[in-house]
Chains A and B, each alone.
Chain A
């Protein structure tokens, strides 16, 4: 459909206001919110994701598209909730205790949101018990943790241990990342996954959930 193609194209160019206006227009034209989401916005983000992977575009271009996606979601979200359309999954994310660097974590959160996940961003300097408490309260599916320095990484293990203590191991998936973190470390502490960057984080979190439509 022409209007949905326009949404997708404008999103790819990062024209946020235009995308929000076109999304409103689509709603007014009685196009189903889920269709606008899947065939307009997510379709556009998928193309962005592919181009990024092929090095045709770079992170700032992806972030502009993500902003456009967010602007459109402000229009769509209330309608999706009203219609009881299930979200893709809920991710509680934060930089661990004593870690005040949050750009890496922010990028991961933005890209996950762009991929349709609901994000609860706890910010930085987050104590271990807060990750679990919020994940429980919000019925989250995933906990994501970021660390800039090796010295703050032990908090990640603490969170994994707390998740085990509370009998939530396996029910809540745990993904870790940040400059000094590695796949080996993730394995060692019992986290479910490690990702080296935002795009890989999206793929990994997606792999935790059954494919859309299946």
Chain B
């Protein structure tokens, strides 16, 4: 299976509290009138400018093993390896919000409109992350073949740069998936353009396979810690 998906920007639900939390704003905070206006404007701009796309391609476990090994820099013990070995289906994926949003953020900063630029960047970062969830939902639905997704089959995304999968793993991932087809390129330093893009693998299987204890040595220095929320969502 290999498919290109156009996500409608309405499908990306913007969780206001989560976006504000990512800016260090606590849930109970009182916001200035200016702040509220800028937030609303940013969400409108996001809806207008996002060109959300994804590419999803099924891959065999043995072929994925090679992709996952990457440049040989993964952490020796890591949760992803244990999870994919227990999977029932694997698919590589890449998603992007497209180049226009990022260009608009740059334009806003260049024009001195820092606050609207920052807010649009923040909304876009949240949305890009959300696209990976949408890709997982898409695969879950596809695997269910028109039926309601089976409770026993949960799909979660895992990305190079997280959970002990070294960021250089993107090189092999790009060779196997070819996200250039939807306009995502990778540079020598493993940075994707457009910036608001995410790459990785979608792992399908019973919910339990996704559960792990986040006490690997590298968990201490992880700046993301999104695993907790992801496991809670199972």
List CB contacts (< 8 Å) of A125-156 with chain B. 148-152
Stretch of B4-12, B113-121, B133-141, B149-157 that contacts chain A: B113-121
Q: Is the CB of B109 within 8 A of A148?
A: no
User: Which B184-226 residues sit within 8 Å CB-CB of chain A?
Assistant: 187-191, 193, 195, 221, 223
* Complex Cα spacing A71 to B31, Å: 24
Q: Are A63 and B114 in contact (CB under 8 A)?
A: yes
| Contact assessment for B113 and A67 in the assembled complex, using a CB-CB cutoff below 8 Å | yes
Query: B18-26, B74-82, B173-181: which lies at the A interface?
Result: B18-26
Q: In this assembly, does A211 line the interface, its C-beta being within 8 Å of a C-beta of chain B?
A: no
What residue in chain A is nearest B188 (Cβ atoms)?
A98
Query: A32 to chain B: closest CB distance in Å?
Result: 26
CB atoms of A100 and B34 under 8 A apart: no
- From B35, B106, B167, B168, A60 is in contact (CB under 8 Å) with B35
Q: Which of A58, A151, A179 contacts B189 (CB 8 A)?
A: A151
**Contacting residues, chain B, for A97 (C-beta < 8 A):** 189
Interface size on B, residues (CB 8 A): 34
Q: Is B161 on the interface with A (CB-CB < 8 A)?
A: yes
Q: Determine if B195 and A101 form an interchain contact, defined as CB atoms under 8 angstroms apart.
A: yes
Stretch in A2-10, A39-47, A103-111, A167-175 touching the partner: A103-111
Determine whether the beta carbon of A149 is less than 8 Å from that of B115: no
Q: Are B168 and A151 in contact (CB under 8 A)?
A: yes
Are A70 and B34 in contact (CB-based, < 8 A)? no
Question: Quick one: closest B residue to A154, CB to CB?
Answer: B189
CA distance A71 to B113 in the complex (A): 11
Nearest residue, chain B, Cβ from A155 = B189
For residue A7, give the distance in angstroms from its CB to the closest CB of chain B. Answer: 18
Contact A67 B168 (CB under 8 A): no
Which residue of chain B lies nearest to A103 when distances are taken between CB atoms in the complex? B121
Distance between Cα atoms of A202 and B186 in the complex (Å): 33
The B9-56 residues at the A interface (CB cut-off 8 A) are 23-26, 29, 31-32, 34-35, 38-39
A98–B189 touching, CB < 8 Å: yes
Rounded to whole Å, the gap between the CB of A209 and the closest CB of chain B is 24
Q: Mark A6-22, 1 if CB is under 8 A from B, else 0.
A: 00000001100000000
Given contact pairs A58-B24, A58-B31, A60-B35, A99 touches B189 in the complex (Cβ within 8 A): yes
Give, as a whole number of angstroms, the nearest-CB distance from A157 to chain B.
Answer: 14
Residues of A at the B interface (CB closer than 8 Å) are 13-14, 55, 57-61, 63-64, 66-67, 70-71, 97-103, 106-107, 110, 148-152, 179-180, 182
5 A–B contact pairs at CB < 8 A?
A60-B115, A63-B115, A100-B193, A106-B109, A110-B114
Given contacts A59-B118, A99-B191, 9 further A-B contacts (CB under 8 A): A58-B31, A60-B39, A61-B34, A64-B114, A98-B189, A101-B191, A103-B109, A106-B109, A179-B223
Chain B residues close to A by CB (< 8 Å)? 23-26, 29, 31-32, 34-35, 38-39, 105-106, 109, 112-115, 117-119, 121, 161, 167-168, 187-191, 193, 195, 221, 223
